[in-house]
Chains A and B, each alone.
Chain A
Amino acid sequence: MLNTSPDFKENSRRAMQDAGLQKALDRARKPFAQTRAAAVARLPEFETLRETAKGIKNHTLAHLDFYLERYTEQVEAHGGQVHWCRTAEDARSAVLDICRRVGAKTVTKGKSMISEEIGLNEHLAENGVRPVETDLGEYILQIRGEAPSHIIGPAFHLNREDWEASFRAAHTHLPADRVFHEKRDIQAEARAVLREQFIAADVGITGANFLIAETGSSVIVTNEGNGDLTQTLPRVHIVLASLEKIVPTLEDTVSLLRVLARSATGQEFSVYTTFSTGAKRPGDPDGPEEYHVILLDNGRSNMVGTEFQDMLRCIRCSACMNHCPVYLTVGGHAYGSMYSGPMGSVLTPAIFGAEQAHLLPTASTFCGKCESVCPMKIPLTGMMRHWRERAFERHLAPATTRYGIRGWGFVARRPGLYRSVSRIAAWGLGVMGRKRGRFGWLPLAGAWTAARDMPAPEGETFFARYAREQRSR
């Protein structure tokens, strides 16, 4: 569920003054880029595989209806059930219905962005079912009542002291004077506490990185193994997946997996990549007795056939945000959406509406770094531009912004006028700044000059000088 996207500007201002967050961002900035670059360098076929991955998803999206039906057929053939859900509310009630039918009290959860998107935890808790997040990062966020700030490293904005304080506050059954010598002591405590939850749970809920039409399988990718414990120990396994996760075959899936981990964490392959196909088979000594897939639309089918269709190729690797100068300055919470960074700026308005999220597509310098690292070659800046145009047309931006842009557009489309105006401005600024050679403050550019000086023009525009030198040849 969306919270504070309309306050993006205020959120960003606060984020830049948040010392803890800035410390976490400083720690992440270099490794984000370095680990991916190193993994890519180790695989000479990486660029070819990006093109392959893009082709696989484009093929799938062009036949999305066919593959979804085939997938459903295969899930049912293996004793599973697919629940088609148009809205977040449909998905929430489908999950709650299953939990109620089996009398579930405790539900363990693997990491799922769809769960965040549909606000599942709040809904379950309100209805007497206790959800327990088991991904280490999601677990501490649940304790702290916070939202994830990154799609795969949900708690990367926290520092060690935050972890220690939160665990002391939450795990009151442990000695208050215990010492965390190392970070691994914090992790060991979570492992012990959560192990009991895995065993107690009646239902396990996971997300899905891929749904495979050929076999009716859902795939999760983790490093911790929490998703596997979540889906193996309880009687019922529920998969939350949005419909664009579909992929035709196992061969298509492994081609996408080859670019996923390398783009995400810089690993060659994640520790656990697990394919689940239906419920426990006759003779199986373990595994769930029921297997359900919540197949969520929530606005995605409306993107098919539009300028936003390419966004449905996204495999949620996080490379775009890991390389985004805006994201790496303000962090994920500023976006007010579970999807942040460039992919979030495109996806959030599509899911929650441009009225709520029209500021997010403005959070880009259009440097294009996101596109250059996207394993699926999604034209992120182009789509942010589309959203900006829509916001302009629908008068969502404040009037001053719109008049400013309209005025600039009027001048920029008339080269003669543009040159005259810039000639006058360059001359005027040149005269005014002659003494100091720079400006500490300029009208309409206060935010820019607050952190740096503007050098004074020398009195002549580039065009004027070029014309003069051509003549004197």
Chain B
Amino acid sequence: MKQDNQAQRAAILGTIRRGLGRGALPADQAAMLRTRLDAHPRHTIPARVALDHDALIELFITNATREYATVQRLADAADLPAHIAGYLREQNLPAELVIAPHPDLEAANWNDAPLLAHRFGRAQPSDMVSVQRGFAAIAETGTLMLPSGQRSPTTLNLLPDTEIVVLQDSDVVGPYEDAFDRLRQAGGMPRNVMLVTGPSRSADIERTLELGAHGPRRLHIVLLGGAGGDGAQG
């Protein structure tokens, strides 16, 4: 079986090289390509993200909202439980959360909101509302970067009807490239990286856009950092 895979690989590479009119790439050319991979040069980046950080946050909010997400700015994590309890009440959703086992979220005092049942860990099919810790918020298109990991289970982004993603103001970046550079600095590609722009949707039935196809119907984003907070706390 293994041999078979090797034989197929050799045959395919042979055909490609014949088509390109050469054998295996000469060492100097291969070295140049490796240099390109290591340098991973950027291409054109849209001018719309050439903004200072406060303006990037505004751009992120505008773009995320246009894609049917809702965004709330809060002073810090201490405000989270009360805000989330209020959001769930407003949306008429059950007060039961599954929360990413991330230190920033574990630090919040969830017992402050006494009617809010919660548990930390991955999502189960019966979970209705999740709270995730986002890694970056990309202003260019209002997109969240949600990498998998011990502290940020992927199932939280998929199984519940409503997902709440918490980030710091400082997690907001301009283009996708900045988010991926941060990911490289944090140790490279985890198993799974989701770029999420708004809640799940489909237009398969007569081209009519309907939210909530298979993933969350609602995506609520909370930015922590104080600036522009709604005065919930000082």
B64 shortest CB reach to chain A, Å = 11
Chain B nearest Cβ from A197, distance in angstroms: 11
> Which of B71-79, B106-114, B191-199 binds A?
B191-199
Which of A64, A273, A284, A285: most chain B CB closer than 10 A?
A: A285
Interface presence of A62 (CB below 8 A): yes
Nearest to B180 among chain A residues (CB) is A250
Q: Which residues in window 149-208 of B have CB below 8 A to A?
A: 149-150, 153-155, 157-159, 175-177, 180, 188-208
Residue of A213, A232, A302 ringed by the most chain B CB atoms within 10 A: A232
Interface segment, one of B13-21, B53-61, B226-234: B13-21
* Docked complex Cα distance between A140 and B12 (Å): 36
A68 & B150 in contact (Cβ 8 Å cutoff): no
Q: A49-B44, A228-B157 are contacts. A251–B208 as well, Cβ < 8 Å?
A: no
Proximity string of chain A (202-240) to chain B, C-beta cutoff 8 Å, 1 when within and 0 when not? 000000000001110100000111101100110000000
Question: For this complex, into which size category does the number of interface residues on chain A fall?
Answer: 35 or more
- Whether A251 and B40, one on each chain, are in contact in the complex, defined by CB atoms closer than 8 angstroms, is yes
Q: Between A and B, how many residue pairs show CB distances below 8 Å? A: 254
Complex interface residues of chain B between 206 and 234 (CB less than 8 A to chain A)? 206-208, 210, 212-216
Interface residues of A in 90-146 (CB under 8 A from B): 90, 97, 134-137, 140
A321: min CB distance to chain B, Å: 15
Choose from A160, A226, A271, A303 the contact partner of B198 (Cβ within 8 Å): A271
Q: Is B143 an interface residue (CB 8 A)?
A: yes
Task: State how many angstroms separate the Cβ of A279 from the closest Cβ of chain B.
Answer: 7
Min CB–CB distance A288 → chain B (angstroms): 9
Interface centre among A78, A155, A279, A301 (most CB of B within 10 A): A301
Assuming the contacts A183-B208, A254-B176, asked whether A65 and B47 have C-beta atoms less than 8 A apart, the reply is no
Kindly state whether residue A44 has any CB partner on chain B within 8 Å.
yes
A68-B13, A285-B150, A305-B19 as given contacts; A226 in contact with B214, CB under 8 Å: yes
Binary contact readout B1-28 vs A (1 if CB under 8 angstroms, 0 otherwise): 1000100110111011111110011000
Shortest Cβ distance from A291 into B: residue: B191
Known: A243-B12, A250-B40, A284-B150. A229 touches B122 (CB 8 A): no
Q: Measured between alpha carbons, how far is A31 from B209 in the docked complex, in Å?
A: 12
Known: A83-B5, A251-B177. A275 touches B42 (CB 8 A): no
Closest 3 CB pairs of A and B: A225-B215, A305-B19, A304-B19
A-B contact pairs, 22 of them (CB 8 A): A31-B207, A63-B29, A66-B30, A70-B33, A78-B191, A136-B205, A160-B205, A184-B210, A215-B188, A223-B200, A223-B213, A224-B213, A225-B215, A228-B154, A267-B197, A268-B141, A271-B201, A272-B200, A277-B191, A303-B19, A305-B19, A305-B21
Binding site for A on B (CB under 8 A): 1, 5, 8-9, 11-13, 15-21, 24-25, 29-30, 33, 36-37, 40-44, 46-48, 63, 67, 101, 121-122, 125, 141-143, 148-150, 153-155, 157-159, 175-177, 180, 188-208, 210, 212-216
